[in-house]
Structure 1
């Protein structure tokens, strides 16, 4: 089985926690022999996840493309930010634009596709709305311009808590408890999804990300005046619809049938405006499909390989 190479890209913008220039980590899955070396698929994870979420999908795509699975700032092996206020989509978009520039510096003829889960999909929408950065094809995994308030509160209840555990197994059980929306997985599948989420320090197991990624998120969801917070969310939705309507890339929208973040109503709207996404609903799954099961992998792979 192929293993990815961990690489680091120096990026401009907010500095690292120690004040030094910052690096963004990504997992580089080389295309198999005979593949079209121009083809690159960039995969970007959700709010509290990291790039190894895409291991199974990457294995399925390498017969025809190189896959770059990013650790967004503050997650995985990427540097933590000195100022938590930087943990927002504009920072991530700027970082990923630098990754695209790096790819094209080596391969000016590169053909880039995008797979984004949740937050990674929001970043992808912002990229796809800009013609110079737009991917050839865009996959939005259980996310759209409307983010349900109840889902924001659910995510806010655990992100940034910084728990530690006395064993890897206990940590994996905790991750399962906050990830019920992922749907059923075998023990081996769950272990593979959990291990990259953990770091061992001083005999304890910790989550991989900077707890401060929650600061901008909680500033919204923990606002004393819920009406003001909801108004801010509504303004954000209007801006996201503007981005979505500007997308011209063929778009696949995956929706967990039980998702509390992306409603069926929003998904239906997305099929009728902007890029008029093709929507595939995944039964027995909430937020968000993990792209591990054969049926989920195949729908993404078939979409990306369509001409």
Structure 2
């Protein structure tokens, strides 16, 4: 083979590899909205990442966990966007959304206010809901909303009883995020936390890290979340626990409960009680996974698709 032929073959192989890499990359949301809502008379804006056809009447809302943001759902949103209009909000204080004025404002009722504003402004009447941890608690409240009708509910690794060992673990670190001198230092620290989300490809791991942080003006790196979220968590944790079982038992929507096999937050006993007390519920346990499943693997996505229909 001549030198030119070898060079051409090398270039073609490089192009094929590059196209394969592009196909493998996790896509970005199709568009973003900034939805206005008010808390204690103060207006704020919540970022909403949107996928799919805005005219599609089938809507799927994906609600993230307490320290995460809507970009956690890029993989599952991409998988659903041909069948659904997918909305992935960054709840207040996270991601691209505005921060609230005080720690005391970071509570589920205010997240529900922001959610109702999102549904109203984006013209949503009926929707399905996937909620991870805190996102599922918000979903439980939204099942009672008379103005917008939730059809089906996916609860990811949380229940009416939350194990104290998990609350202790979260309380120790939430909001107490250091500033990192460079991206590799942040990535190394965050990789440890994300490890409990289950088996991930390198690309998925890096995606979760990169969408969770931002570079500061001084060149250092920090989490894209308000530290006051941690104060809010500890304030709530210091109070007597709220009995969520009546709320759970009032839910009439068909419900799929996902549990990480190694979860320290949703126990097998609580899961069993949830199934017994909700006649239209079913469950899937995800192996080699703690709190909370990332919902990025093909089998889990397929199971959710089957449930939502």
Q: TM-score range by the shorter chain?
A: 0.7 to 0.9
TM alignment of 1:60-209, pairs within 5 A: 60-104=79-123, 110-201=125-216, 202-209=218-225
Q: Which residue of 1 aligns with 2:253?
A: 249
SS in 2 for 1:166: coil
Q: Which residue of 1 aligns with 2:292?
A: 288
CA distance in 2, matches of 1:166, 1:204: 5
1:252–1:21 Cα change, 3 Å: same
1:212 matches 2:231? no
Q: What is the CA-CA distance between 1:162 and the residue it aligns to?
A: 2.6
Q: What is the CA-CA distance between 1:219 and the residue it aligns to?
A: 2.2
1:189–1:247 Cα change, 3 Å: same
CA distance in 2, matches of 1:155, 1:57: 25
Q: What is the CA-CA distance between 1:169 and the residue it aligns to?
A: 2.1
Corresponding residue pairs, total: 282
SS in 2 for 1:298: helix
Which region of structure 1 is more displaced relative to structure 2, 204-213 or 273-282? 273-282
**Native 8 Å contact 2:52 2:82 kept in 1:** no
Q: What is the CA-CA distance between 1:131 and the residue it aligns to?
A: 4.1
SS in 2 for 1:249: coil
CA distance in 2, matches of 1:76, 1:293: 23
Q: What is the CA-CA distance between 1:24 and the residue it aligns to?
A: 0.7
CA distance in 2, matches of 1:168, 1:142: 30
The two structures have a TM-score, normalised by structure 1, of 0.87
SS in 2 for 1:114: strand
CA distance in 2, matches of 1:56, 1:246: 31
CA distance in 2, matches of 1:298, 1:113: 16
1:13 matches 2:39? yes
Q: Which residue of 1 aligns with 2:15?
A: none
Q: What is the CA-CA distance between 1:220 and the residue it aligns to?
A: 4.1
**Native 8 Å contact 1:249 1:275 kept in 2:** no
Q: Which residue of 2 aligns with 1:226?
A: none
1:29 matches 2:56? no
SS in 2 for 1:157: helix
1:78–1:14 Cα change, 3 Å: farther
**Aligned match of 1:264 in 268, 273, 276?**
268
- Gaps in structure 1 of 5+ consecutive residues: 224-228
CA distance in 1, matches of 2:203, 2:56: 32
The structure with more radius of gyration: 2
- Gaps in structure 2 of 5+ consecutive residues: 1-22
SS in 2 for 1:12: strand
